[in-house]
Structures are given as structure tokens and as C-alpha cells.
Amino acid sequence: MASSDVPMRDDDAGAAETGFARPQAGAARAMRRQRRLVERWMPKRLYARSLIIVIAPMILLQSVIAFVFMERHWQTVTERLSTAVTRDIAAIIDMIETWPREADLSEVIRIAQERLQLKIDLLPPDPLPAPGSKPFFSILDHSLSEQITRQINRPFWLDTVGDSSIVEIRVRLDDKVLRVFARRSHTYASNTHIFLLWMVGTSLVLIAIAVAFLRNQIRPILQLAEAAESFGKGRPMPNDFRPRGADEVRRAGAAFIQMRERIERQIEQRTAMLSGVSHDLRTILTRFKLQLALGGSKADRDALNQDIDDMQSMLEGYLAFARGETGESPGSFDLAAFLDKQAEEARLRKRALKTSLTGSPDVIVRPNAFSRLLANVIGNAFRYARTVEVTATHTRGALLVVVDDDGPGIPPEKREEVFKPFVRLDDARNQDSGGTGLGLAIARDIARSHGGDIVLEDSPLGGLRAVIRIPA
């Protein structure tokens, strides 16, 4: 055969590479789709995934064993039994055909019944019954039909569906029809259900043991997760929590307790330091006020008093942000009462406030910190808007507070910046000279210490919407 030495062009090579890469890209996309589908339907909890890891191989192993048993044992035994019964029937037919015609066939019937345990009858040469519907799954029906065709090779009819303990076989002879009744147990491996019951029973026992074992192993992990979640929300750690379970889980629990103790010590030290600083600075500011009250002109005193008030307000804001209200214990907070106070505040500021509360008004949070959070967000809306709407929805496990206003709003690209400490925008909602730039930073810090967050969006009123989500 002649071969061509013409070199391949670059565009041909590119086409070949493209044609080769296209199936690879399609296969990669198909694999990604399958992976996403598996991830979507896979359980998310560790307990359920562990059960799947234990149960899935067991089910696979039992299925393989059942298939091998059905294929190698059940079918083989059934074929051998059917072959033996068919061989006996063939022997009876040979006896009938070789028996003297004038002799009585009762002796043949006796031999078949006593020696071969087959009940036989000789019927008139009527047509065989019409073939019935074959069962969906019957090894016996297939095996008997095959053996009768191979060994006897005469027209026949059989019924393996009727009486559960008897198999009826009819074979057409030259001038009569032989009807044979055989026990199903002689033609069929009928005790296989015992094996299947044992297999299913042992599987259920093993699964029950695995479930109990996994529950005991996963319970310490769940307790550790609950303790960490409670600490993250500022709640006390469960009283009965201690490192349990496997060695790795115990080490993780001990590390969590040590971390918690270090954080609490740091918070206590910071709180003590801030208390001292706050006391000393307030003492100096009070001394300034006394000195101003004793001397100087009234105009000078008013200006200096205003500066001192501003300094004191800024100091309180800085200390509140640094303190973070983390030392407060959780308690019940009445949302309805708080919204009533905000309604009074709106009347004093001459603002239009509309409130709505759905669900229980009692929320388990750190009351003072959560009150500061809501006051900062709603007060920020009062400062820049004329109309404010507050919608609170308390469902099982979650609290959602939405604050809408009709103010100038904040550009989307700057909405994250306002949560940074000491950041004050030059336009929109921050054109006045008041405030320290810590209100929203304190609010988000409190929300996140409760396990929630605050996000800013566009409001249907035309201004800004603040969405507060807190697990409660």
C-alpha cells in the first residue's frame, strides 16, 4: 500500500486539535453536571453521610451476594431438580409404551407413586389446554420446559402457577395423554427464602448496630458545634459540655475551651482598661466644666461647654465601639416596647415613623447591645430622612428587621465603606458635622457578635434600606 508524505497544514492540525478538544470539553461539562447533581441530593449533615458510607457498601455487597446466589446456586439447583423429575417422567413414558397393551397399567401407576413420588393419570387423547400466561420471573417454568423439550420431545403443557405446592405436567402420547402431578419441592429450590431472610435480617442487625455506634460518635461533634455556635452568639456555653468521643474530637473540644478562656480573659482585660480610661477622662472633662463655670465670659463658656460636650460624646462613642458590649449576658428583649420608644423619639424629631411587628415580641439577645444596634440604625434613618418604616419579623430561629427611609441614600459602591470605623462619607447622608462615624460600625459589630449581619439595599421609599438578620 502506498503512503503519502504530504505534510499536514497548520489549519488541518488546528481542526484536528479542535475536534479532539470538543469531546473532552463536553465530557468535562457532563462530569460537572453529574457532580452538582450528586452534591444537590447528598445529605448535608455528617450523621446522614456517615450512614450512607456504612449502608451503601453493605447494600452493594448484599446485592452482589444475592446475584451470585441466584445465578450460581438457585438456578443450578433448580435445573438439576427439574432434570431429575423430567428423567423420571421420561422413564414412566418408556414403561407405558413398552408395557403390554392388554395388561393393566395400575402397576406402572403404583411404581410412579411409591418409588418416584409422582402421581400420574392417563387421560383420553383430548387436545392439550391452551398455554397460559407465563409468570414474569420463574426459573422453574423455563427450566422444566427446556428439560421436557430436550428429554421427551413431545407436545406438553405444564402449570407452575396454580397450586403452590404442586406442579402439573401433561404430555401427549400416541393414543392418550399422561398427566403428572409432582411436588414443587422436588422440582424447585424452594428454600431459598431462608437464605434471603437470613441475609436481610443480618443486614438490619448490622445497620442497627452501625446507627447506634455512629450516633454515639457524632453526638460529641454536635455538642462541640453547639458550644461554638453559642459562644459565637455571645451566649454562655452549655453547662454539661466537656470533651468527649474519639481522641480527635476530644482534642478539638479541649482546644475550643482553651481558646474561649483566652478570648474571655482578653475581653475582661480590655473592659477593665476601658473602664479606667473612661473614668480618668470623664474626671478631666468634669474638672474642665467646673473651671468654666467659675470664670470667663458667658460667650466663651458656651463655646467651650459645647466643645466639651462634643468631646464627651465622641469619647462615649469610641469607648462603646471598643467595648463592643461583649460582656453582657443574654436575656429577653421586648421588641414591641422598643418600637414604642422609637415612636416617641420620632415625634420629638418630627419624623413620620411606621412600625410593624410579626411574631413574638420577645427575643433572646444581649438586651443593651441589641438596643444600641437598633437605635443606631433607626437613628441614622431619622437623621437623614423624613419618613421611616420599621418592619420586624420574628420566626422560629430567626429575627429579621428591615428599616426603610426616604432619605438621599448611599451609592451601592460605598455601602460597605460606611461600616468601617471612623469612615464618614462627604456626600449623600453624611454632609452634616455631627457624629463620629462609628454608629453603623458598632451596629454591624453587635449584629455579627449575635451570629447575624446587616446589609444595605435600595429602599422602596426611594432612600436606603437596612436589613438586619439575627438568629434568635
Nearby residues of 324 by Cβ (< 8 Å), 6 or more positions away: 369, 442, 445, 446, 449
Who contacts 264 (Cβ-Cβ below 8 Å, separation ≥6)? none
Q: What is the DSSP string of 253-264?
A: HHHHHHHHHHHH
Phi, psi of 388 (to 5 degrees): -135, 135
Bridge partners of 470, per DSSP, are 399
| 365, β-bridge pairs | 331
Q: Is residue 185 a contact partner of residue 140, using CB atoms and an 8 Å limit?
A: no
**Strand, helix or coil for residue 167:** strand
Sheet holding 453-458, edge to edge: 352-358, 387-395, 398-405, 464-470, 453-458
- Name the nearest CA neighbour of 202 among 74, 331, 59: 59
Q: How far apart are CA 450 and CA 438, in angstroms?
A: 18
User: Do strands 156-159 and 119-123 pair parallel, antiparallel, or not at all (unpaired)?
Assistant: unpaired
* Cα-based torsion angle of the residue sequence 106, 110, 116, 118 in order, rounded to the nearest 10 degrees: 70
Tell me the C-alpha distance between 282 and 276, whole Å: 10
Contact 218, 47 (CB under 8 A): yes
In angstroms, rounded to a whole number, what is the distance separating the alpha carbons of residues 382 and 346?
7
Q: Maximum Cα–Cα distance for the chain, whole Å?
A: 155
The DSSP string of 7-27 is: PPPHHHHHHHHHHHHHHHHHH
Among 73, 186, 193, 279, the active-site one is 279
Is residue 142 part of the annotated active site? The answer reads no
| Residues with catalytic roles | 279
